[in-house]
Amino acid sequence: MARIIAIGGGGFTSASSPALDDFLVSQLDGTARRIGYVGTASDDDPVRLRHFHALIAPRVSDASVLPCGSNADEARRWVARHDMIYVGGGDTARLLAHWHQTGFDAVLAEAYRGGTVLAGVSAGAACWFECALVRGAAGTLEPIIGLGLLKGSVCAHFNAEPDRRPAFLDRIGAGLLPSGLGIDDGVAVVLRDDAPPAAWSAGPSCWAYALSAGSGGSVSSIALPAFV
């Protein structure tokens, strides 16, 4: 069963919303829980790597990191060892450019089709969709083309940065982005090939929403069903 877990913000990489970590680990089947971390978007930021080893590794049977310098063959062997690949946040454009250059994008697509759970936060959530609204190097919000494993668009940090929600709604209403998901910090959206997307929240005031264009530039916003 193909499955992607897209997190708007929080979790172990920022040492916040620890309930997100509980949820993440709970999505691994069986007792042999093996998680691999990819820090391309932050250039293997050492703080995030320490958080991964301190907060996730003790809870699973195998936890390892794919170094940024790995080639496609090395990445393919590494991915095959894990049940879940988790992608950290940072610069989405750098992440995608590096993956396209090294062939890691194709490796992840193969893993997804083979049943490996893909997950990630912020840039690591945005990368799986056809396109996303992300913070660029100049600090402005810009659309970007993703891997296309999931249809539609996405915007992470939907409740955390005041300019994200109106910018995402404006672009969907104008037809510059397709219908998609707005995901608050503290929220994980589970996307499976056999069910509609569903949300799980680490707190009472955050959620995820399905957004679609209406007539005259209007945009409808519907809260996702709860993941059970």
- How do residues 51-94 score in pLDDT, each as one tens digit? 999 999 999 999 999 999 999 999 999 999 999 999 999 999 99
Confidence of residue 118 (pLDDT cuts 50, 70, 90): very high
% the chain with pLDDT above 90 = 92
Quick one: pLDDT band at residue 158, thresholds 50, 70, 90? Answer: very high
Q: Does the residue 191 lie in any domain? A: yes
Range of the domain at 158: 3-223
Residue 128 maps to a domain: yes
pTM check: above 0.85: yes
The band of 169, judged by pLDDT with boundaries at 50, 70 and 90, is very high
Phi, psi of 24 (to 5 degrees): -60, -50
Per the domain annotation, does 20 fall within a domain? Answer: yes
For 32, 100, 214, the CA distances from 175, given in Å and listed in that order, are: 45, 27, 10
pLDDT for the residue 193: 86
* CATH code of residue 56: 3.40.50.880
Does the residue 228 lie in any domain? no
- Residue 2 banded pLDDT, cuts 50, 70, 90: confident
Average pLDDT on 148-173 reads: 97
Residue of 157, 201, 218, 220 marked active site: 157
Q: Of 70, 122, 153, 201, which one is the catalytic site residue?
A: 122
Separation of alpha carbons 206 and 158, rounded Å = 9
Q: Which pair of structure tokens corresponds to residue 207?
A: 């959620």
- Looking at residue 1, what is its pLDDT? 72
Does 30 have pLDDT greater than 80? no
Question: Which pLDDT score, from 0 to 100, does residue 117 have?
Answer: 96
| 157 in active site | yes
Asked if residue 32 has pLDDT above 90, the reply is no
Please enumerate in sequence order all residues whose Cβ is within 8 A of that of 160, keeping only pairs 6 or more positions apart, or say none: 8, 9, 184, 185
Residue 142 lies in a domain: yes
**53 an active-site residue?**
no
The yes-or-no verdict on residue 11 having pLDDT over 90 is yes
Mean pLDDT of all residues in the chain?
95
Number of domains in the chain: 1
Residue at 14 is within a domain: yes
CA-CA distance, 198 to 178, in Å (whole number)?
Answer: 19
pLDDT at 81: 94
Measured distance CA(162)–CA(176) in Å, rounded: 20
- Residue 123 gets the label, from left (phi > 0), alpha (psi -120 to 50) or beta, of alpha
